[in-house]
Structure 1
Amino acid sequence: MNSQASPTLMSQTSVAYDAPLRIALLGYRSAPHSGGQGIYLKYLSRSLVRRGHFVTVISGPPYPELDADVTLVRLPSLDLYEHGLKSIRPRQLLSRLERIEWFSKLTGGFAEPFTFGERVKQWFVGRESEFDIIHDNQTISDGILALQHRGLPLVTTIHHPITKDYRVALAAEPRWYMRLLIHRWHGFLRMQKRIAPQLRSVVTVSGASATDISDDFNVDRSAISVMHLGVDTELFRPLPEKKREPHRLMTTASADAPLKGLSVLLHAIASLRSDYPDIRLTLVGRPRPGGDTEKLIGSLGLGELVQCYKGISHQEMVEKYADASIAVVPSLYEGFGLPAIEAMACGVPLVSSDGGALAEVVEDAGLVVPAGDSQGLADAIRRLFEDDNLRTDVASRGLSRVEQHFCWNRCAERMEAYYRERIAAC
């Protein structure tokens, strides 16, 4: 941070325990319809405002969709993963951060966590006294750590360490040159592994993630607090007026990310096809043209059985859940597993792997099978296809579990208490 800036920090006694807090939520990439970061910012900010707090979301592109009473500060970047290397103009390379982004993309890297952190650090110069707490969502960068060094109360959410994605991607890729690109893209992990142990206040979304963060990022377990996520039950809900298709499955996955286990599900469907010729899969996500997933769908002869949807709204997703007889979460690893609780909230019987936190999240509210086991997945799907009573029972248990454990208001209530502890301790 600019050494000439002289922040006027709020004294710890100036924030009464029941006074509204001024909260800055940070997200380097906050797409509203894909990935969990934009969803996390949208619903946490909404729930905190409903509790009477003032929330400002500071985000890089793609920007989140927020309620009107949440302030959005846009910190533009080159956003080269959306626009491509040829989208820039020569004058843009006059900026150090934009040069870093351009060169990193050119060489297969991912610089956004670093560059966003630097922009945030600059943005806060002269604004330090405007907020009571800063809450970073997974950036874990030098610029964000600088705010903590300035004496500003900082909380960091780490959903899970991306080291998990890195190892699964490497294990799934036999070609040496692609493994080199995977290694290059994950270069930001060196920064995150260096920064994370220095963070004083880390929040994560499951006990499984807490263990992984402690192991992979060398964060002291006492610095990590677990707070489960919630689901918007006003939106994700059963639609009893819609008739479910008897053998339609639904999954939501980044289609070419090995971590999501889509290949495991595709092999399971291939093994079930002879017994259930009308089996179909609704895939929220679209395979990369010519990529491994598209090739696998072709080699298994599943082209006519898989319908892909990308960029659909949450309401459209709820309608897709209402069409499905079973929802499947086949992930090899999840730090939490939002698709699991969204499916349960929609009253769809769930089959889930036990990857990462999924067994912790689902418990007995779904049929849980070992991660990576396509035959186990097929057997669980078959059980539900063949047993109407079991489908009804699993769906009912899923709804009950969501109502009892995965409420955004409860998450915001716990987060508020945690903020006040961190403010008092700063």
Structure 2
Amino acid sequence: MKRARRLVSVSHSYVVTLNRRLANEMARVGAGQWEVTAVAPRFFHGDLSPIQLQREPGEASFVEPVRALFSRSAHVFVYGPALREKLARGVDLVHAWEEPYVFAGAEVALLAPKHVPLVFSTAQNLSKRYPPPFAQLERWVVRRSAGWIAFGETVKQNLLARPGYAERPARYIPMGVDVELFQPDRAAGEDFLRELGWQEQGPPVVGYLGRFVPEKGVELLRRVLERLTTPWRALFVGGGPLEASLRAWAEPHGDKVRIVTGVPHAQVPQVLNAMDVLCAPSQTTPRWKEQFGRMLAEGFACGVPVLTSDSGEIPHTAGDAARVVPETDVAAWTSALAELLESPDRRRELSARGRERAVTRFAWPVVAREHLSFFESVLG
């Protein structure tokens, strides 16, 4: 009987159980053909707070903890010498979910045995010039790799123009969403409306989910709501530096606006199901454009009609399952949102399209199979 291939996937994101869904799903869909190990830091300084390695019983992949050094910086942290052993024990392919221009990405490439193919994943959708030594690290890792995965079509097209990338096999594979956790459940949404002090029979709920920052388009959505003549209620869910100004704007609107912060990820499906339209008005800046739009995939999975901007990767994420409008066109946004609020039939159509897209394109088993298919093509 042919032995299962051994895949080792390395990522600092794996310190969080939720982020190991990719590794665990690859182990599930590849059972009998692939044995998957996820290498994760024992401890990592997260964006908001320090994180100890989280574990869950019954994970399908093997979790191998290693020390992470200098983890306050995503660019210069490294895993340390224990990583070499994790990459050297009969491994058939090494996957690095680390950018190729950072120290950790180069470290994985250096410590992986030379005869073992290396595939890295990247989400870099902006054309950047890196200072030394990051530019040199990127070129070296690309030369060392047997292929690379782009977490977006705009990522792939951006990087194909950089030295060396076009010489290696590449595949665009989106991020995944849990279509069992995120699914249509209007009753749960109605419960959340009641918790907010709203009745189901009120005007349609315009929802926003994400960070309260300028690049996510919070201010544009406020301007659009001000222009609407169609009745509406607005639900802003998230947090960030614009919270104070958002609350100041909401105060004159009284019962029409709710702002909710501190929502745990497990409650996000209920929140989405309370919305009649999810708005994702992301705004491109010189230093940022939308890389995927996780809120879109989660909204699709919950069957929520989506109105979104055309920033970055969003048109590729949305396909024909959302209404996509120019990101800075307030008049177009106002017209499109009014149309959706006034047309339950159009909302039902987008709801069905979104759920289908989530199940066929973004469900974790689909994303995992895409990864394993690419790995198999690299191995030949």
Give the TM-score range, shorter chain: 0.7 to 0.9
User: 2:109 matched to 1:134?
Assistant: no
Could you tell me how far 1:151 is from its partner in structure 2?
A: 3.2
TM alignment of 1:213-228, pairs within 5 A = 213-215=159-161, 219-220=165-166, 222-228=168-174
TM alignment of 1:297-376, pairs within 5 A = 297=246, 300-301=249-250, 305-310=257-262, 312-314=264-266, 316-332=267-283, 333-376=289-332
SS of the residue 1:59 aligns to: strand
Q: Is the 8 A contact 1:44 1:408 kept in 2?
A: no
In the other structure, the counterpart of 1:91 is: none
Flag the 1:201–1:124 CA change in 2: closer, same or farther, 3 A: same
Q: Distance in 2 between matches of 1:310 and 1:372?
A: 29
Match of 1:45 among 12, 24, 27: 24
Q: Is the 8 A contact 2:142 2:165 kept in 1?
A: yes
When the two chains are superposed, the root-mean-square deviation of aligned CA atoms in Å is: 3.3
Q: Distance in 1 between matches of 2:148 and 2:95?
A: 10
Q: Give per-residue Cα distances to partners, 1:25-67, cap 9 Å, x unaligned.
A: 21123475xxxxx755314422433431322222233446655
Q: Give per-residue Cα distances to partners, 1:63-83, cap 9 Å, x unaligned.
A: 466553322233344xxxxxx
In the other structure, the counterpart of 1:114 is: 76
Q: Give per-residue Cα distances to partners, 1:295-348, cap 9 Å, x unaligned.
A: 54256446862423335033x111111111111222233332222121111011
Structure 2, unmatched stretches of 5+, are: 45-50, 191-199, 284-288
User: 2:17 matched to 1:26?
Assistant: no
Match of 2:184 among 223, 228, 238: 238
Q: Give per-residue Cα distances to partners, 1:115-154, cap 9 Å, x unaligned.
A: 23x42x5422375024222111134232122135733321
Q: Distance in 2 between matches of 1:193 and 1:296?
A: 40
Q: Is the 8 A contact 2:305 2:351 kept in 1?
A: yes
Q: Distance in 2 between matches of 1:195 and 1:261?
A: 37
Q: Distance in 1 between matches of 2:308 and 2:118?
A: 35
In the other structure, the counterpart of 1:280 is: 234
Q: Which moved more, 1:346-355 or 1:395-404?
A: 395-404
By percentage of residues, which structure has more helix?
A: 1
Flag the 1:323–1:195 CA change in 2: closer, same or farther, 3 A: farther
Q: Which moved more, 1:129-138 or 1:304-313?
A: 304-313
User: 2:10 matched to 1:57?
Assistant: no
Flag the 1:26–1:339 CA change in 2: closer, same or farther, 3 A: same
User: 2:223 matched to 1:267?
Assistant: yes
Q: Give per-residue Cα distances to partners, 1:3-28, cap 9 Å, x unaligned.
A: xxxxxxxxxxxx95xx4232222112
Q: Is the 8 A contact 2:23 2:61 kept in 1?
A: no
SS of the residue 1:220 aligns to: helix
Flag the 1:70–1:379 CA change in 2: closer, same or farther, 3 A: same
> How high is the sequence identity, in percent, across the aligned residues?
17
Per the normalisation by structure 2, the TM-score is 0.77
Could you tell me how far 1:217 is from its partner in structure 2?
A: 7.2
User: 2:63 matched to 1:72?
Assistant: yes
Q: Distance in 2 between matches of 1:381 and 1:188?
A: 47
Could you tell me how far 1:202 is from its partner in structure 2?
A: 0.5
Structure 1, unmatched stretches of 5+, are: 1-14, 33-37, 78-96, 106-110, 168-182
In the other structure, the counterpart of 2:286 is: none
Q: Is the 8 A contact 1:160 1:209 kept in 2?
A: yes
Q: Is the 8 A contact 2:87 2:94 kept in 1?
A: no
Q: Is the 8 A contact 1:254 1:286 kept in 2?
A: yes
Q: Distance in 2 between matches of 1:189 and 1:384?
A: 46
Flag the 1:419–1:346 CA change in 2: closer, same or farther, 3 A: same
Q: Distance in 2 between matches of 1:302 and 1:363?
A: 36
Flag the 1:187–1:246 CA change in 2: closer, same or farther, 3 A: farther
- Amino acid across the alignment from 1:324: M
Tell me how many residue pairs correspond in the alignment: 344
Moved over 4 A (4+): 63-67, 186-196, 301-304
Match of 1:151 among 96, 115, 126: 115
Q: Is the 8 A contact 2:87 2:113 kept in 1?
A: no
Q: Is the 8 A contact 2:37 2:64 kept in 1?
A: yes
In the other structure, the counterpart of 1:407 is: 363
- Amino acid across the alignment from 1:320: V
Flag the 1:237–1:372 CA change in 2: closer, same or farther, 3 A: same
SS of the residue 2:211 aligns to: coil
Q: Is the 8 A contact 1:196 1:219 kept in 2?
A: no
- Amino acid across the alignment from 2:305: P
